[in-house]
Amino acid sequence: MDKVILLLSVLSLGVSSQPITDSQRLFSIAVSRVQHLHLLAQRLFSDFESSLQTEEQRQLNKIFLQDFCNSDYIISPIDKHETQRSSVLKLLSISYRLVESWEFPSRSLSGGSAQRNQISPKLSELKTGILLLIRANQDAAEIFSDSSALQLAPYGNYYQSLGADESLKRAYELLACFKKDMHKVETYLTVAKCRLSPEANCTL
C-alpha cells in the first residue's frame, strides 16, 4: 500500500512539473504586455474623463455610442461563446490585426506624459510577439493572404486640423476605442493561452 501511495505521489509530481514550452512562454509575455496596455488605456481614459465637465462627458459618451471604432471593420467574435469556440489561430490573427490597426493612431495618443509615450513601443512589441505565436502555429503567409483587403484607412479626421470641439471628440474617440480594442486583445490572447492547458477551465 505504501508503495502505491509513493508511486502516485511521483506521478503527480511529474504531471505538475511539466516543462514550460516556448509557445507557453511567448503567450505569457504577450498576455502580460496586453494587460499592461489595457490598464494603461483604462487609466488614460479615466484621467481624460475626469478633466471634462459633466455635460461634456454626457455629450461625448452619447456621440460615441452612436459612432463606431475604426477597428470595427475587423471581423471578430460577437460574444464570449463565439470567442470560446474560435481556434487559437483565429484568435491570434484577429489580435494581430487589432494591434496593427493602432500602429498609426497610437501616435496621436503619445506625448505629454511618460505613460502615453509607452503606448507605441509597447504596441510594437506586442505585435511582434503575436506574429511569432502565429508563425509557431502556422505559416504566416497563409494567415495574412487576404491582408491587402484588410488595410484600414486612418480615422476620418486623423490628419485634419480640428477646432476645439472636434479635437475633444477625436481625443475621446481614440481613447475609448483604444481601451475597447485592448480589452478585446486581452480576452482573445487569454483564451488562446488557456487552450495550451487541456485541464484548464477557459470559461469567460
Q: Does domain 22-139+172-196 bear CATH number 1.20.1250.10?
A: yes
Residue 76 backbone zone (phi > 0: left; psi -120 to 50: alpha; other: beta): beta
3-state secondary structure of 77: coil
- Please indicate whether residue 178 or residue 136 has the higher confidence score (pLDDT): 178
Q: Give the C-alpha separation, 19 to 195, whole Å.
A: 16
Pinpoint the alpha helices (H) of the chain.
Answer: 2-16, 22-50, 54-66, 80-85, 88-100, 106-109, 114-117, 119-137, 140-143, 164-194
Q: Is 34 exposed, middle or buried (0-12, 13-18, 19+ CB in 10 A)?
A: buried
What are the boundaries of each domain within the chain? 22-139+172-196
Mean pLDDT of the residues in the chain? 77
Among 49-53, 61-65, 102-106, name the one with the lowest average pLDDT. Answer: 61-65
16 pLDDT more than 90: no
147 pLDDT more than 60: no
Q: What is the pLDDT of residue 104?
A: 87
pTM of the model as a whole: 0.77
Q: What is the pLDDT of residue 12?
A: 38
Q: What is the pLDDT of residues 121-140, one digit of tens each?
A: 999 999 999 999 998 877 54
Q: What is the pLDDT of residue 38?
A: 96
Q: What is the pLDDT of residue 29?
A: 94
Q: What is the pLDDT of residue 152?
A: 47
